[in-house]
Copies of this chain bind each other. A is one copy, B any other.
Amino acid sequence: MKKFYIAKSRRLRSTPYTSRIENQGVTAYTVYNHMLLPASFGNLEKEYFHLKKHVQVWDVAAERQVQIMGKDSSKLVQLMTCRNLSKAKIGRCYYAPIIDEQGGTLNDPVALKLEEDKWWLSLADSDVGLYAKGIASGLSLQVEITEPDVNILAVQGPKSFKLMEKVLGKKITELKFFGFDHYSFKGNKFLVARSGWSKQGGYEVYVENSEAGKNLYDELFLAGKEFQVEPGCPNLIERIESALLSAGNDFDSTDNPYECGFDKYIDIDSDINYLGKKALIKISKEGINRKLMRVLIDIDKIEVTDGMPLYNNNKVAGELRSATYSPNLKKVVGVAMVKKEYWDKKNPIELKIGDKKRKGTLCDLPIV
């Protein structure tokens, strides 16, 4: 498929690491929260195999933070998400879908409770900070909402544990999945979470001091030589194989969290208060008529740049939203929103590419 350049400008913000990844051979960007997010270093498949075997350092500064501080901060965070955060603990990460009053899914950040009255929402791609500001103004909440200058470095892959232990010390090996704590490097403290946008294991370093972060970036490559460290980025193949959903790709504000399979992050039974709760109670009672599923198609390449209809007997059965060729499965794997009539996995589906029909099958999606 034809390739196009990205027109860079201040509006598509660079990160503290941009000059480094450009020296290291990044070839493609996407834009995420008004910021450059690397998308490839030239060979997605090679990067995929490397990520599953070794360790990579990623510039994911585009995962911007909404910082919510103040007396009403917990109230505001809860108002925005259908997940019950009333028992949230300092030092833990919470996958927390953001919902609007109609029950639409606006974003799926990881919420970090930093202090009793201080939260970060580590965002997918939409301006949740504006949503927070609007609610806070409307309700006259006592909060301060900012986008702090936090620029995340992710260290991902099976050897990330050894590399991070070498650089930040043995204590980091005690960090549990979706836990976070502070670790020192050359006199600077870094908030490190055991998280990241791959299923290969690893960490995300929430860098608050850009200069110190750049030093850490360089050290990870120096110390990482013995672990075959490479620069990388969220890998399309790995993320779809691992069924890590992508807001804006796999779902958007026209989809409710039940349709996305986020059931276990939805609380409609307790007395917590959030926007969209009424809508979700109604949806829960009525049931959903479509849901996200995994698709497998017997072809050896695909590029999805827009929703593509999936057919069953020439009727539209759903919409393919993300897909990639999986070198593991030797077929194309994708994520699709599928109508209820076609949920039975025995239903074959078809994708039209040009004037050819390609056969595929559906299966359930393992959700994060």
Chain A interface residues toward B at CB < 8 A = 2-14, 22, 26-31, 34, 39-40, 100-101, 106, 125-128, 130-139, 236, 246-249, 275, 303-307, 321-322
Contact = CB atoms under 8 A, between A and B. Distances in A.
B30 A7 contact: yes
Nearest to A130: B131
B14 A27 contact: no
A4 B2 contact: no
A132 B321 CA distance: 28
A101 B137 contact: yes
A10 B127 contact: no
Nearest to A124: B11
B4 A27 contact: yes
Contacts of A5: 3-6, 27-29, 40
Contacts of A31: 6, 12, 30-31
Contacts of A28: 4-7
A306 B9 CA distance: 7
Given A5-B6, A100-B137, A130-B134, 17 more contacts: A4-B5, A4-B8, A4-B26, A5-B28, A6-B6, A6-B29, A7-B28, A10-B307, A10-B322, A11-B246, A11-B249, A30-B31, A100-B130, A106-B130, A126-B130, A134-B137, A135-B138
B125 A34 contact: yes
